[in-house]
Amino acid sequence: MNIFREVLWPLLAVILAFAVGGVIILLLGDDPINAYAWLLSSSFGSIRDIGWTLHYATPLIFTGLAVAVAFRCGLLNIGAEGQLYIAAFATAWVGITLGGTSVAGESWAWTSLPGFLLVPLCVLAAVLVGGFWGAIPGFLKARFGSHEVINTIMLNFIAIALVSYLTQYHYKNPGPILETPPIGEAATIPRLNEIFGFISPDVPLNIAFFIALLMCVLVYVFLWKTKWGYELRAVGENPSAAEYGGISPKKQIVLAMTISGTLAGMVAIGEVMGTRYNYYHDFSAQWGFLGIAVALLGRNHPLGVLIAAIFFGVLLRGEIFVDAFTRYVSKDLGFVLQAIMILFVACFQRYTRR
């Protein structure tokens, strides 16, 4: 029964979502087989397509893990979007100020560090700032009992407004676009096409994908193979029983939200250091919020999160081609399928509890 619930039911949710989506496509007057063929072939039709799919999946692995860790402690982190935004700016700031950046005769740099120092510092900035922004609602929840959903939503607005202000008035690249200057070349991480020659040069997939895979393993080990993970999960199952057993729910709440923010902040590693090479306003495709759906579909398990993130990467990649090569179906098909899947997952979870 446990295997059925954890593996087959999410798979069933995907199958049913595609079935309902096919009915919707028929009602629109289009061919669902053709639409789904474009969706899948554009995601897995070639090495280049697979590279793009994994590129779209990478930030969702981080945010899905972030939400899953909070869920395991009985918390709902709606603030992954703000956490990844403020972490991205912090990463860019370190890469600019310590990377010798100079644009149009204007220098923002304090010094110019070599790559073996600068890359770890940029990664550390993403981890620490994301974790700090996640710890704030965790502390407020533990200390004052204020609800983490409200706090994280409000902190999203604060984070995005803060980095927008800093970009606009202190670190804006010349031009009409709200973005920072590029980070120093020493702060960049390699793309996979620089390592594997068979990957197309236009695919921005970088080594952040391997870091995301590593985090799936580490999160699994932490949650199921360590004392701290057991205590965190115990608080999520029953805070009163956990406290009776000598576990501090307040400590676990702060810890869970800090780890959650850290994971969300790691989105900046791939986006700032390996894709855009600067902080760009509105760079996120709502990854913080999509991470909630990824965690739900993945049943808050690292392996499930990985599979769900790749599936959502298929939707993000394929919806572009569905919009271009079908008559009536738009790229909103991806959003429709996501919503239907979440509804089915929620229904199955409700049934399981009953």
Q: What is the mean pLDDT of the chain?
A: 92
* pLDDT the model gives residue 112: 83
Quick one: what percent of the chain has pLDDT higher than 70? 95
pLDDT for 70-123, tens place per residue?
999 999 999 999 999 999 999 999 999 998 876 655 677 778 899 999 999 999
Q: 181 or 348: whose pLDDT is higher?
A: 181
Sketch the domain layout of the chain as residue ranges.
47-328
Is residue 152 exposed (0-12), middle (13-18) or buried (19+ Cβ within 10 Å)? buried
- Domain at 47-328, CATH class: mainly alpha
What is the Cα–Cα distance from 181 to 102, expressed in whole angstroms? 8
Contact between 79 and 156 (Cβ < 8 Å): yes
Quote the pLDDT of residue 1.
Answer: 47
Tens-digit pLDDT profile for residues 251-296: 999 999 999 999 999 999 999 999 999 999 999 999 999 999 999 9
pLDDT at 352 over 80: no
pTM higher than the cut 0.85: yes
| CA–CA dist 130, 144 (Å, integer) | 22
Residue of 350, 304, 272 whose CA lies nearest to 64: 304
Q: Which helix (H) or strand (E) covers residue 106, if one does?
A: strand 106-107
